[in-house]
Chain A
Amino acid sequence: MTLDPSEVGGGSDPRAIEETARSEGRNVPGTPADSAIAWPRKVIDVIRRWLPNGHLVAQTKPVAFVLVPSIRASQGTPLELLDLPLGRSLEPGSIYLCDEGMRRALLPRDPAATVEQWAADLRSVGGGHLPTVVYSPADGLLVWYSKGLDGPDRLEQEVEIGVGRPVTEAELMAQLDRLHVKRWVSPSLAGVWDNSDKWVPVQNAERAFQDQVSLWCDAVFERHNVTTEVGGPGGRCDVFLYPHVASAVGSGVIEMKVLRAFHFPESGGSPTAVPARENVAAIRKGIRQAFVYGRRSGCDVSLLCMCDMRKVDDDAIVAPFLFAADKFKVAMCRYFVFASDEAYRVALTKAVLPE
Chain B
Amino acid sequence: MDHDGDGSDYSPAPEEFLAPQTPTLDETLGRVYSGRPLPALYGRAWLLTLLACAEGFGLTPIPGDLVHGMGLLADGLAEVYKVPSPDRAVLKSDRLPFFPSLQWDLDRLLVQGLLESWTVDRESGGLQTVYACTETGRSMVNLLDGSPLLRQAQPFLKEVVAALADSSELDAETIAAGDSTFAAPARVGSVLDFGEWDDPRFHNYALRTTEAFEKANTRGLPFGRRDRVHLYAKYLVHVGRGAA
- Name the distance in Å between B157's Cβ and chain A's nearest Cβ: 9
Q: Is the CB of B212 within 8 A of A8?
A: yes
The answer, among B138, B183, B215, B222, for a CB contact under 8 Å with A11, is: B183
Question: Could you list some 23 contacts between A and B, CB below 8 A?
Answer: A9-B184, A10-B208, A11-B180, A12-B208, A14-B212, A16-B178, A16-B239, A17-B235, A20-B234, A21-B213, A22-B218, A24-B234, A25-B223, A28-B231, A33-B161, A34-B154, A70-B56, A70-B133, A72-B132, A101-B166, A103-B165, A103-B168, A230-B221
Q: Is the CB of B205 within 8 A of A8?
A: yes
CA distance in complex: A54, B119 (Å)? 40
**B181 part of interface (Cβ distance < 8 Å):** yes
**Per-position contact with A for B153-184: 1 when CB-CB < 8 Å, else 0?**
01100110110011010000000001111111
**A297 part of interface (Cβ distance < 8 Å):** yes
Q: Is the CB of B220 within 8 A of A298?
A: yes
Q: Is the CB of B58 within 8 A of A9?
A: no
Q: Is the CB of B208 within 8 A of A103?
A: no
**A71 part of interface (Cβ distance < 8 Å):** yes
**B59 part of interface (Cβ distance < 8 Å):** yes
Main secondary structure of the interface of A (DSSP, over half): loop
The answer, among A3, A9, A13, for a CB contact under 8 Å with B242, is: A13
**B57 part of interface (Cβ distance < 8 Å):** yes
- Name the distance in Å between B77's Cβ and chain A's nearest Cβ: 13
**B57-110 with Cβ < 8 A to chain A:** 57-61
**B11 part of interface (Cβ distance < 8 Å):** no
Main secondary structure of the interface of B (DSSP, over half): helix
CA distance in complex: A101, B164 (Å)? 10
Identify the A interface with B (CB < 8 A). 1, 3, 7-14, 16-22, 24-29, 32-34, 38, 69-73, 99-101, 103-104, 229-232, 240, 242, 296-298
Q: Is the CB of B230 within 8 A of A103?
A: no
Lowest 3 CB-CB distances: which A-B pairs, in order? A10-B205, A11-B183, A99-B58
CA distance in complex: A13, B132 (Å)? 33
The answer, among A7, A9, A13, A232, for a CB contact under 8 Å with B221, is: A232
Given A99-B56, A100-B162, A101-B58; A28-B221 close (CB under 8 Å): no
Given A12-B209, A19-B238; A33-B231 close (CB under 8 Å): no
> Which residues of chain A come closer than 8 Å to B56, judged between CB atoms?
69-70, 99-100
